[in-house]
Amino acid sequence: MNLELGIPLNDTITEAIVDRLIECDPSLADRSREDIPRTCTSNRMLAAVGSLTSMPLFLKIKDFVDRSLLEECDASLLNRGMFVPLSRDQNQIFLAVANPWDPTAEDTFSQQYPDLEVTKILAPVAEITSVIETIARTTGPSQSDIDAIEVDERGEEILDFNVTGKHEEPLAQLVAKICSDGIKQRASDIHIKCDKERVHYSYRIDGDMGEKYEIPMKLKDRVDAFLLNLMGLAPEERAKRPGISGRFTVNYLRRSIDMRFERHRTYRGYHVTMRILDKSHFEAKLGVGSLAFDAATLFELEKVMAIPAGIIVMSGPTGSGKSTTLNAMLRELNRPEDNILTLENPVEDEIQGVLHCDIRPSEFQAMIASFMRSDPDIILMGEVRDMDSAELAIEAAITGHKVLTTIHTPRASQIIERFEQIGIERWKIAQTLKAACAQRLIKIVCPYCKIKKPGLTEREVRKYNLGEEWRETPVFQKSPDGCGECGGRGYLGRTAILEIIPITPEWSDQLSKGTISPYELELAVREQGILPSLRKSGLQLVKEGRTDLEALRKAIDMSSTE
């Protein structure tokens, strides 16, 4: 039975109110109990509540409210307890309440004025609400609103795993060391693998897998369970699921670092990959550090970014730093007047003011419509991998949005063909694509131990397809044993090289008509000689003594002379 008084009432109280209504008006006794609330006005029911609780009922209270007393109160607290203060003298404070059974009102005022007696009167919900409204402000939630939200903080404690502190438990100390050593060496990933007789971990640093360190076999399951626990997962989960994804954060010298966790079952146990998402590496800026492109490339990039609508695509293999560059571009484009949304899987680099969406490929189709309705100006889409994502990029560009995305192709000119393979007509991509870019990360030779050579041998000149002048060009190469600074690797850090093919309106027209192929366009851009190709930028790094030909050969195809 619902009395519709606007306050929560339990069954016992509801029955008591109905009893009181019948007592006051014996003619109601002839009716069924369910029928009684419908035959009584809400004021009559309130009168019954007042009589039941021995509280006087005031149908109008506005004129009795002491404004200064009211303004001392927190509107959201009054709203939650559905009460307002009316007046106060030396001995007592008068309150109007809508729900006599709610203790909030008394609790609040007996704390605030412990010496005053609290006297309550009853008033309708609508009347109390209209009084509260007069002091309610719309400047966001009050502190008491926020404090009232209960958060399970237990999860937070286990999340921030301190990897540079001392741990009593040896296992915690071991996992902390595995993590902190990886962060210290600027590894991108930590791998833990089980094979037949051993469990070992290793780091991927500057794109290469490094030395393997052994973990005693008896700790196989305990390390696994410890890591799952860091994410708040029970060890039983590993039996239920073939693959487990998650994340946790570690505290490294008071810096919080996100770790993305992937675990899959293997024949001998498991393979865990932990990606270290160290934000201090992310703050990459165009033109600085690892993104210090040459002046012509930077100028072109800025020109392309200024185009109001269209697609900018970054191509390259996995681990070529595509998203780092796109995120750096997004930072440049990030203005308060633009609504910037991202669709990523997963979100790696959070930028203040940008709305990041973590989206799985299976949800993509369902998300697109609502995503476009949320009125974005600039969209960063993690990757074009299928028809859904390709269509979204094209549609968004046609309707006037700027789209930044990546695609898996080795050469910039193959971007157009990749879109066609996915199922997009040539003219559509030709008219929306504004820049086709290709990027690689090139390892830098350690400046502390690199070895100087007066020139290349005949064999090397042929191997790398270089001109005869390289036989007399002094170059550097990595030291075979490295040094303490580079951890024996001979390389220290990486830098990006970028090739841009700008699609001007003229090129776009010719591509649509099919009078030029994407590869011919790539060659035409090279012929102009303004924008360097990947190979040219790479060779420039060699001339500057920053990398060696071996590192270059691993990142780009040296078989062509272009």
Q: For the sheet containing 117-122, what is the strand order? A: 83-88, 92-97, 117-122
| Minimum CB–partner distance for residue 411 and Zn ion (Å) | 33
Closest to Zn ion by CB, 287 vs 493, is 493
What is the dihedral angle through the alpha carbons of 95, 96, 101, 106, rounded to the nearest 10 degrees? -20
> How many CB atoms within 10 Å of residue 378?
22
Task: Please name which of 328, 445, 341 lies closest in space to residue 401, comparing C-alpha atoms.
Answer: 341
Shortest distance in whole angstroms from residue 444 CB to Zn ion: 11
CB of residue 549 to Zn ion, shortest distance in Å? 18
Strand partners, 260: 247, 275
SS3 track for 450-496: CEEECCCCHHHHHHCCCCHHHHHCCEEECCCCCCCCCCCCCEEEEEE
CA distance 339 to 354: 7
Query: Least CB distance from residue 211 to Zn ion, whole Å?
Result: 16
Q: How far is the CB of 506 from Zn ion (least distance, A)?
A: 49
Minimum distance, C-beta of residue 546 to Zn ion, in the bound complex (Å): 14
Strands (E), 299-432: 310-315, 340-344, 355-358, 378-381, 402-407
* Least distance in angstroms from the C-beta of 446 to Zn ion: 3
Give the nearest distance from C-beta 477 to Zn ion in angstroms.
Answer: 12
3-state secondary structure (DSSP) of residue 516: coil
Q: Which residues pair with 92 in a beta bridge?
A: 117
Report the residue number, 99 or 479, with the smaller CB distance to Zn ion.
Answer: 479
CB closer to Zn ion out of 114 and 480: 480
Separation between Cα atoms, residue 115 and residue 76, nearest integer Å: 25
Residue 81 or 482 with smaller CB distance to Zn ion? 482
Q: How far is the CB of 185 from Zn ion (least distance, A)?
A: 13
CB under 8 Å to 174, separation ≥6 — which residues?
Answer: 215, 219, 223
Asked if 550 and 403 touch (Cβ cutoff 8 Å), the reply is no
Q: Which CB sits closer to Zn ion, 319 or 488? A: 488
Judged by DSSP in three states, 497 sits in: strand
Choose between 169 and 211: whose C-beta lies nearer to Zn ion: 211
CB 547 → Zn ion: shortest distance, Å? 14
- Which residues touch 50 (CB under 8 Å, ≥6 apart)? 56, 57, 122
Minimum Å gap between C-beta 159 and Zn ion is 36
Query: Measured on CA atoms in the order 221, 222, 226, 227, is the torsion positive or negative?
Result: negative
Of 367 and 483, nearer to Zn ion (C-beta) is 483
Degrees (nearest 5) of the Cα angle 158, 163, 167?
80
Report the distance separating Cα 516 and Cα 519, nearest Å. 8
- Closest-by-Cβ residue to Zn ion is 446
Q: Which helix (H) or strand (E) holds 157?
A: helix 154-159
Q: Which is nearer to Zn ion, 401 or 443 (CB)?
A: 443
Of 6 and 210, which has the nearer Cβ to Zn ion? 210
Question: CB-wise, 46 or 492, nearer to Zn ion?
Answer: 492
Indicate the residue among 259 and 449 with the shorter CB distance to Zn ion.
449
Least distance to Zn ion, CB of residue 485, Å: 5
Q: Would you give the DSSP letter of residue 509? A: H
- In angstroms, give the least distance from the CB of 484 to Zn ion: 7
Angle at CA 11, nearest 5°, toward 10 and 15? 120
Site residues (vs Zn ion, CB under 5 A): 446, 448-449, 482-483, 485-486
Helix, strand, coil tally for the chain in percent (to 5) = 40, 25, 35
**Alpha carbon distance 87, 287 (integer Å):** 67
Task: Reduce the secondary structure of 304-338 to three states and give it as a string.
Answer: HHCCCCEEEEEECCCCCCHHHHHHHHHHHHCCCCC
CB-wise, 242 or 484, nearer to Zn ion? 484
Residue closer to Zn ion by CB (options 231, 446) is 446
